[in-house]
Amino acid sequence: MDSLKIALAQLNPTVGDIAGNLEKLRAARKKAAQAGADLVLSTELFISGYQPEDLVMKPAFLAACQKAVEALAADTADGGPGVIVGYPRKGEAGRHNSVAVLDGGEIIAIRDKVDLPNYGEFDEKRVFVPGEMPGPVNFRGVRIGIPICEDIWGDLGVCETLAESGAELLLSPNGSPYYRGKVDVRHQVVLKQVIETGLPLVYLNTLGGQDELVFDGGSFGFNADRTLAFQMPQFVEDVAISEWARGADGWRIVGGKVAALPIGEASDYRACVLGFADYVNKNGFKSVVLGLSGGIDSAICAAIAVDALGAERVHCVMLPYRYTSEESLSDAAACAKALGCRYDVVAIEEPVTGFLSALETMFEGTEEGITEENLQSRTRGTILMAISNKFGAMVVTTGNKSEMSVGYATLYGDMNGGFNPIKDLYKMQVYAVAAWRNTERPEGMYGPEKNAIPQNIIDKTPSAELRPNQTDQDSLPPYPVLDDILECLVEREMSVEAIVARGHDAETVHRIEHLLYIAEYKRRQSAPGVKITRKNFGRDRRYPITNRFRDR
């Protein structure tokens, strides 16, 4: 063969939906056949969905995945394109993260992932065993190397081995989660392998939200001369046809398209929307409900919900108390109107007064303070959960990463909820994303074209409004200062000494470090949320709750 057409199936599978994933890949193969493709490449563990985690420990699950692969292999007896499909496999040595190459009605080859990642969000050594160092697969006379995800990221020399054993090109199925700037990182990883092997390499990435992770697609290919041959879009499903020609210097991708990719706040926002939409839809929720306070956090969460689901599936509830300002009431109403979603007001004066009355004797002689403030938050949380129970709507929780870091949130109150779309956005990032969303609406989203959030919500001083004239800065440093300290502590694991050297007050840094540690028990009980940064709370950062260490 001197020419080859490979279809790149950048699809959104669902973990555990083996039948649905199989049908999705069958539809992609049909589309590829109509375009004259010879081969369809799917992503890592496509049949099971990624990450399947401990599902792969169930023999019945592995058997169902194997049956689906065999059914797909039988499809290829029709003379159409072959398929490279990822799935979890039970082998003689144990469970493998594998791909099967299907053609002519049969499984013509199997390759197992060699380099199993065991860091950050990855825990594959716990459930899989590594495969043997692979050789290329002969597909219709073309020797194809198939390194699986970490096989091109790590240092075990998998790609080098494939090149030395005769591979003519490399096709790499991946499950690479999003974080800000990840596309550039992937490009550098692939370029390193292209330089070392002298072979063209296709990087196919999966798509979709899976619990806290978002897989953003953004698949691409580099030719052996280090030029970007094609770039697929992020955050959308796509089946692209890559055309290959064999010349004197080997195989080359020709005529590829390079999609423009979102950057900065645009990519973060799209990740939040995709992760939120898939969590709600894949878990079968028909609608969502959230408390709309008139503040920036609940406003951006409402905008994300409407963009992800449509206004008819979003219910906003204002829950005012005696400290709620008229400004907040008008801002919340204006936000709901701009988004076009249902908006109700449920006053909490009576239930809060009821709680205080019930506790009056026990609390006699004590000063009013945090306890009474938390009662307001917990009353709101109880009402939202009651609405959820009655109507089946998932409660959206709305705390940002700055608040989650220092415990500026109330357990069983404003932390109530099923999912948090901004859990991994610091406060200043929330402002930046809100300002960006007011200027444009990404393709495929349901909200207003512009001005999704009233400008006054972005401009005004943030306040929890749990006591008279309260502002967040009464108990926290200014958010630009707080966020920089937190990024140093959480993302970079910097010492207090190094953070102070950046110009921060030592006492403030020590206080924030202390708050970060003592809030760990709250974060363990918080709702899942979209991972946006390199180190989110949960999968990436696992600190003990009981912990007396302080950096002195």
Q: What amino acid occupies position 543?
A: Y
> Would the annotation count 296 as a binding residue?
yes
Q: 179 among the known binding-site residues?
A: no
The rounded radius of gyration (Å) of the Cα atoms in the chain is 26
| 295 belongs to an annotated ligand binding site | yes
Query: Is 182 part of any known ligand binding site?
Result: yes
53 is in an annotated binding site: no
Q: In terms of Cα–Cα distance, which of 52, 34, 45, 92 is closest to 69?
A: 45
Q: What does the pLDDT look like over 271-321, one tens digit per residue? A: 999 999 999 999 999 999 999 999 999 999 999 999 999 999 999 999 999
pLDDT at 119: 85
Which residue matches tokens 């994933």? 21
541-549, long-range: CB < 8 A, 24+ apart: 541/490, 543/517, 544/520, 545/520, 545/521, 547/517, 547/520, 549/517
What's the gap between Cα 113 and its chain centre?
Answer: 23
Flag whether 119 is marked binding: yes
- Give the Cα separation of 252 and 4 in Å (integer): 10
Token pair 């500026």 is found at: 408
Extract the tokens encoding 346.
Answer: 């449920």
Q: Is 371 annotated as a binding residue?
A: no
- With 0-12 CB in 10 A as exposed, 13-18 as middle and 19+ as buried, what is 64? middle
Asked whether residue 361 is marked as a ligand-binding residue, the answer is no
Mind listing the pLDDT tens digit for each residue in 388-404?
A: 999 999 999 999 999 99
Question: In 66-186, where do the E strands start and end?
Answer: 82-91, 94-103, 106-112, 137-139, 142-145, 169-174
Number of residues in the chain: 552
Q: What is d(CA 154, CA 172) in angstroms, rounded to the nearest whole number?
A: 13
CB 447 within 8 A of CB 311: yes
Report residue 63 as tokens: 């058997």
Kindly name the residue from 113, 423, 427, 531 that is annotated as catalytic. Answer: 113
The Cα angle at residue 406 between residues 405 and 410, in degrees rounded to 5: 100
Domains of the chain by residue range = 3-261, 265-524
Instruction: Evaluate whether 516 touches 486 at the Cβ level (below 8 Å).
Output: yes
The response to whether 217 counts as a known ligand-binding position is no
| Helices 296-309 and 265-282, packing angle to 10 deg | 60
For every residue of 82-94, DSSP letters joined together read EEEEEEEEEETTE
> Given 65, 124, 149, 427, which residue is catalytic?
149
Q: Which amino acid is residue 511, in one-letter code?
A: R
**Is position 297 annotated in a ligand binding site?**
yes
From the candidates 24, 44, 401, 535, which is the catalytic residue?
Answer: 44
For position 464, what pLDDT does the model report?
A: 67
pLDDT, tens digit, 9 for 90 and up, residues 453-497: 999 999 988 776 666 766 766 678 999 999 999 999 999 999 999
Query: Residue range 333-355: average pLDDT?
Result: 96
The two structure tokens encoding residue 483: 């966020």
- Would you say 403 is a known binding-site residue? yes
124 assigned to a ligand binding site: no
Average pLDDT over residues 329-354: 96
Closest residue by Cα to residue 200 from 230, 221, 185: 221
Say whether 522 counts as a known binding-site residue: yes
Interatomic CA distance for residues 486 and 544, integer angstroms: 18
144 belongs to an annotated ligand binding site: no
**Residue 1 CB: number of other CB atoms within 10 A?**
11
Which has the closest alpha carbon to 49: 84, 86, 83, 75? 86
Torsions phi, psi for 26 (to 5 deg): -60, -40
Q: How confident is the model at residue 59 (pLDDT cuts 50, 70, 90)?
A: very high
Other beta carbons within 10 Å of 409:
21
Residue from 256, 205, 189 nearest 229 by CA: 256
- Write the CB contacts of 92 (distance below 8 Å, at least 6 apart in sequence): none
Q: Is 257 a catalytic residue?
A: no
Architecture of domain 265-524: 3-Layer(aba) Sandwich (3.40)
Q: What's residue 266's pLDDT?
A: 96
CATH class held by domain 3-261: alpha beta
User: Is 113 assigned a catalytic role?
Assistant: yes
**pLDDT, tens only, 424-464:** 999 999 999 999 999 999 989 999 999 999 999 999 887 76
pLDDT reported for residue 474: 66
- Across 29-39, average pLDDT: 97
Residue 152 backbone dihedrals phi, psi, to 5 degrees: -100, -15
The yes-or-no answer on residue 24 being catalytic is no
Q: What is the pLDDT of residue 176?
A: 95
Share of the chain above pLDDT 90, in %: 89
Q: Which of 360, 390, 355, 358 is nearest to 374 (CA)?
A: 355
If you average pLDDT over residues 223-248, what whole number do you get?
Answer: 96
pLDDT for the residue numbered 20: 97
Vertex 122, ends 121 and 123: CA angle to 5°?
125
Element at 56 (helix H, strand E)? none
Residue 520 and residue 544 in contact, taking contact as beta carbons nearer than 8 Å: yes
Q: Is 401 annotated in some ligand binding site? A: no
3-state DSSP assignment of residue 138: strand
Instruction: Report how far apart, in Å, the C-alpha atoms of 110 and of each of 8, 29, 172 are.
Output: 19, 19, 14
Residues 78-128: pLDDT tens digits?
A: 999 999 999 999 999 999 999 999 999 999 999 999 999 988 888 899 999
Q: Report the distance separating Cα 456 and Cα 474, nearest Å.
A: 21
The whole-number pLDDT of residue 256 equals 87
